Amino acid sequence: MLRLDDKTAVITGGTSGIGLATAQLFLKEGAKVIITGQNPTRLQEAAQKLGNNTTAVLANVVNLADLEQLAQKVKETFGSIDVLFVNAGVAKATPFKEVTEAKFDEEMAINLKGAFFTVQKLEPTIKDGGSVIMTTTCLDQTAMMGESVYSASKAAVRSLARSFSVELLERQIRVNAIAPGPIETPIWSKMAMPQEVMEEAAKQVVGRTPLGRFGKPEEIAKAVLFLASDDSSFMLGEEILVDGGWATL
């Protein structure tokens, strides 16, 4: 018996990194998945990589019409879903004195507004007793230079996991958060830092992490699987840190 036999899941930000690794694990555990992303090329490549039992939907989380279309596609494809992984996000590295209004609004829109309306628009498609998992970060419990907006956006998402748990209690839908530490994914290269700055930042991150390395997306996927499955049936409004000891030690 697989842990997600006959289950259906939507994974936002499923084109790379943590979302893609989670889609791979969910499929291996018997689920059918819908992955989303905003970049058509990466979306198609990911869908090809994942193969059978995968549907790819182009949906930018800052665009409410896209999220409504995604909900419609979920109804057409599965009728309803057991698991929603609210994972799409970006991280920008900017010292707080250099944060412009436009940069602030962009990061907040993707990470916070996007997460909020993903749950609001897809909630009618989630089965009673379903599971929602929201990706936060260990930085919502601590701090890092240049990550003030990112950390604040994710601290707000951590708060949403509590509020949504209360709002969805009558339907027995459990909402929890997964808080990764530094994980080896394309999110770092997307910060578009010069190579030498990136290498120095990576050294500092490894030095700051008690386990002395970046985590792998597969190590986050395993914890997401736990929260998605009945193994976590008595958990709601909680956040699991998977961060190599970053926030705790």
Ligand X SMILES: NC(=O)c1ccc[n+]([C@@H]2O[C@H](COP(=O)([O-])OP(=O)(O)OC[C@H]3O[C@@H](n4cnc5c(N)ncnc54)[C@H](OP(=O)(O)O)[C@@H]3O)[C@@H](O)[C@H]2O)c1
Site of interaction with ligand X (CB under 6 A)? 12-19, 37-39, 42-43, 60-62, 87-91, 110, 135, 137, 180, 182-183, 185-187, 190
Q: How far is the CB of 16 from ligand X (least distance, A)?
A: 4
Is 64 an active-site residue?
no
Catalytic residue among 150, 188, 214, 246: 150
Q: How many angstroms separate the Cα of 23 from the Cα of each of 46, 88, 127, 231?
A: 10, 13, 19, 18
Query: Which spans in the chain are helix H?
Result: 17-28, 40-50, 64-77, 101-108, 114-122, 148-167, 195-208, 217-228
CB closer to ligand X out of 1 and 249? 249
35 vs 81, which CB is nearer to ligand X? 35
Whether the CB-CB separation of 88 and 70 falls below 8 Å is answered with no
User: Residue 215 has what DSSP assignment?
Assistant: B
2 within 8 A of 228, measured Cβ to Cβ: no
Closest distance of CB 234 from ligand X, Å: 25
d(CA 89, CA 113): 11
**Nearest residue (CB) to ligand X, 127 versus 159:** 159
Token pair of 142 as six digits:
């601590």
User: Whose Cβ is closer to ligand X: residue 75's or residue 190's?
Assistant: 190
Which residues belong to the active site? 150
